[in-house]
């Protein structure tokens, strides 16, 4: 084997070893690397007890209620399986909307999260408003025709 | 016809080739930046969720892509320098680092400017943002390590190892939004295509090409100065018209 082939082998093996080590470390730290817990994880007691953490999901539709002071907001974060009610006093980001992504940080108190920070999480789709409207209409039309064809006994499919 | 691939791997020939290429890349980059900015800011429609704010994407995404690709290219040159012991490879790696660091910085900076109005935070320690910050530190570490060792050949070898080890971080940045839950959204442009509106896609693609051309022009200019500096004791450098003129 020539010297340069030896060096190549050394680099290739070294890089593979480093890659493996990093993969193992990240795998072990999986929970620490993730930014937030889902409501389902909280119900499974995977979230830390007694200290501040983040929960992420969608703002449940129809759940946003403002209190009389105009600053305190109640809403529910859901992952379509489980839901966690949240109370937050402060200014919400512009993209905070029912049915959209949200990440709230705070402490749990008797099944309720008292949040001190609420961030909006938007999706990766970019389109003009007209296209978004058209998509939404098509979805509604699709859902209507699908429910007409599928018998009522068929299990509901949740995306 | 046999092509002599190694002809331009010699600093002697590459120096003049780079000199001839730079103006073309620079002019093309400037033209495409103008076109891309125009399409991005005037022709592309507003976004249904983010309104006008999303337009920073035309700088943010190309800068992020460049910061990751340039790192891999830099690590590739560094590895080539170690394996084949070619002088030019290490010089290329050294020339790429500042431009890569610049793009990583732009990516983080525009991301913060975008995050505040949309997410509600300048910065969160999520996997995507943190791994991109580590990329910036890897670039800075590479530059610092190379600068701290006086003998350039030893500096090349030490910093090459850092560059190669650090390349593990690039796939982590790319897949971070998939592997963990993050505040940063998933990839808009996937291997399977994109859901983006056509004018937005065009603006982003043109800006991406413009960034590439700019990066190539700047890197070639930088590698020329590095060649001049490191080969200053050789005969061919002292026979260059521009060097003779100064001397």
Q: Which tens digits make up the pLDDT trace of A132-155?
A: 888 888 888 887 776 655 444 444
Domain extent at residue A40: 34-142
Q: How confident is the model at residue B247 (pLDDT cuts 50, 70, 90)?
A: low
Q: Report the residue of B56, B181, B182, B205 to disrupt the A interface, i.e. the one with the largest count of A CBs within 10 Å.
A: B181
Cross-chain residue pair B84–A4, CB shorter than 8 Å: yes
Q: Distance between CA atoms of A14 and A27, rounded to whole angstroms? A: 20
Q: Residues A86-90: contacts with CB within 8 Å, 24+ apart?
A: A86/A55, A86/A112, A86/A113, A86/A115, A86/A118, A87/A112, A87/A113, A87/A114, A87/A115, A88/A114, A88/A115, A88/A116, A88/A118, A90/A116, A90/A117, A90/A118
User: Which chain A residues are closer than 8 Å to B49 by Cβ?
Assistant: 95, 100, 122-123, 132
Assess whether pLDDT exceeds 60 at residue A1. yes
Q: Report the residue of A1, A20, A27, A33 to disrupt the B interface, i.e. the one with the largest count of B CBs within 10 Å.
A: A33
What's the CATH number where A93 sits?
2.40.50.140
Q: What is the pLDDT of residues B190-227, one digit of tens each?
A: 777 777 888 888 999 999 999 999 999 999 999 999 99
Nearest by CB: A126 against B54, B125, B126: B54
Q: A24: distance to nearest CA of chain B, Å?
A: 13
pLDDT value of residue B215: 97
User: Which chain B residues are closer than 8 Å to A129 by Cβ?
Assistant: 45-46, 48
- Number of structural domains chain A divides into: 1
Asked whether the beta carbons of B91 and B230 are under 8 A apart, the reply is yes
Minimal Cα distance from A38: which residue of B? Answer: B181
Nearest by CB: A128 against B48, B127, B165: B48
Minimal Cα distance from A19: which residue of B? Answer: B168
pLDDT value of residue A149: 53
Cross-chain residue pair A119–B121, CB shorter than 8 Å: yes
pLDDT value of residue A156: 43
- DSSP tag of B198: H
Please give the share of chain B, as a percent, with pLDDT higher than 90.
Answer: 67
Cross-chain residue pair A128–B197, CB shorter than 8 Å: yes
User: Which chain B residues are closer than 8 Å to A92 by Cβ?
Assistant: 120
Assess whether pLDDT exceeds 80 at residue A64. yes
Cross-chain residue pair B181–A19, CB shorter than 8 Å: no
What integer is the mean pLDDT of B7-14?
A: 82
Q: How confident is the model at residue B2 (pLDDT cuts 50, 70, 90)?
A: low
pLDDT value of residue A158: 41
pLDDT value of residue A159: 39
pTM: 0.88
Cross-chain residue pair B49–A118, CB shorter than 8 Å: no
Q: How far, in Å, are A2, B110, B123, B133 from residue B126 at the CA level?
A: 45, 16, 9, 11
Helices and strands per DSSP (H, E), number in chain A: 4, 6
Q: What is the pLDDT of residues B44-93, one digit of tens each?
A: 888 888 888 889 999 999 999 999 999 999 999 999 999 988 889 999 99
User: Which chain B residues are closer than 8 Å to A100 by Cβ?
Assistant: 49
pLDDT value of residue A68: 85
pLDDT value of residue A151: 47
Q: Is residue A70 part of a domain?
A: yes
Q: Is residue A26 part of a domain?
A: no
Cross-chain residue pair A4–B49, CB shorter than 8 Å: no
Q: Is residue A71 part of a domain?
A: yes
Q: Which residue has the higher pLDDT, B9 or A113?
A: A113
Nearest by CB: B164 against A15, A35, A118: A15
Q: How confident is the model at residue B163 (pLDDT cuts 50, 70, 90)?
A: very high
Please give the share of chain A, as a percent, with pLDDT higher than 70.
Answer: 91
Q: Which range, of A33-42, A62-71, B52-61, B185-194, averages the lowest pLDDT?
A: B185-194
Residues of chain A whose beta carbon is less than 8 angstroms from a beta carbon of chain B are 4, 7-8, 11, 14-15, 18-19, 22, 26, 30, 33-36, 38, 56, 92-96, 100, 103, 117-129, 131-133
Asked whether the beta carbons of A36 and A103 are under 8 A apart, the reply is yes
Q: Is residue A148 part of a domain?
A: no
Q: Count of CB contacts below 8 A, A vs B?
A: 115
Most confident of A24-38, A94-108, A116-130, B123-137: B123-137
Strand pairing of A83-89 and A112-121?
parallel
Assess whether pLDDT exceeds 60 at residue B39. yes
Nearest by CB: A120 against B54, B118, B181: B118
Q: How confident is the model at residue B38 (pLDDT cuts 50, 70, 90)?
A: very high
Q: How confident is the model at residue B188 (pLDDT cuts 50, 70, 90)?
A: confident
Q: Is residue A10 part of a domain?
A: no
pLDDT value of residue B195: 75
Q: Is residue A3 part of a domain?
A: no
How much is the ipTM here? 0.79
Asked whether the beta carbons of A61 and A68 are under 8 A apart, the reply is no
Q: Is residue A50 part of a domain?
A: yes
Assess whether pLDDT exceeds 80 at residue A55. yes
Assess whether pLDDT exceeds 90 at residue A3. no
Q: Is residue A89 part of a domain?
A: yes
Q: How far, in Å, are A51, B105, B156, B220, B231 from residue B142 at the CA level?
A: 38, 15, 10, 19, 22
């Amino acid at each position: 084997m020539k010297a340069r082939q030896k060096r190549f082998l050394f680099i290739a093996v070294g890089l593979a070893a480093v890659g493996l080590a990093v993969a193992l470390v990240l795998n072990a730290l999986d929970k620490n690397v993730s930014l937030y817990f889902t409501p389902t994880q909280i119900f499974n007691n995977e979230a830390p007890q007694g200290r501040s953490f983040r929960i992420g999901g969608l703002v449940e539709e129809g759940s946003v209620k403002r209190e009389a002071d105009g600053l305190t907001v109640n809403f529910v974060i859901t992952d379509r399986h489980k839901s966690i009610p949240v109370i937050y006093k402060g200014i919400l980001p512009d993209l905070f909307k029912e049915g959209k992504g949200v990440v709230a940080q705070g402490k749990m108190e008797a099944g309720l999260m008292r949040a001190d920070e609420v961030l909006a999480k938007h999706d990766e789709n970019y389109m003009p408003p007209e296209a978004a409207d058209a998509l939404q209409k098509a979805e509604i039309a699709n859902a209507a025709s699908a429910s007409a064809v599928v018998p009522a006994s068929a299990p509901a499919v949740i995306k | 016809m046999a092509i002599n691939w190694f002809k331009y791997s010699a600093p002697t020939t590459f120096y003049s080739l780079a000199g001839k290429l730079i103006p073309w890349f620079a002019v093309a980059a400037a033209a495409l930046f103008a076109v891309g900015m125009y399409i991005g800011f005037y022709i592309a429609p507003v976004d249904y969720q983010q309104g006008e704010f999303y337009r920073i994407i035309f700088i943010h995404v190309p800068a992020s892509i460049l910061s990751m690709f340039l790192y891999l290219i830099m690590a590739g040159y560094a590895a080539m320098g170690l394996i084949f012991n070619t002088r030019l490879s290490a010089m290329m790696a050294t020339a790429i680092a500042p431009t890569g660091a610049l793009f990583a910085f732009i990516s983080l900076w525009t991301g913060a400017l975008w995050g505040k109005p949309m997410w509600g935070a300048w910065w969160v320690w999520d996997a995507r943002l943190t791994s991109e910050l580590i990329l910036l530190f890897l670039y800075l570490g590479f530059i610092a390590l190379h600068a701290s060792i006086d003998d350039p050949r030893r500096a090349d070898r030490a910093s090459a190892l850092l560059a190669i080890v650090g390349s593990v971080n690039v796939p982590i940045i790319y897949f971070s939004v998939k592997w963990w839950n993050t505040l940063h959204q998933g990839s808009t442009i996937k291997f399977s295509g994109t859901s983006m509106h056509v004018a937005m896609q065009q603006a982003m693609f043109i800006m991406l090409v413009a960034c590439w051309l700019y990066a190539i022009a700047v890197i070639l200019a930088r590698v020329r100065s590095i060649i001049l500096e490191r080969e200053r004791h050789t005969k061919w450098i002292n026979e260059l018209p521009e060097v003779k003129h100064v001397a």
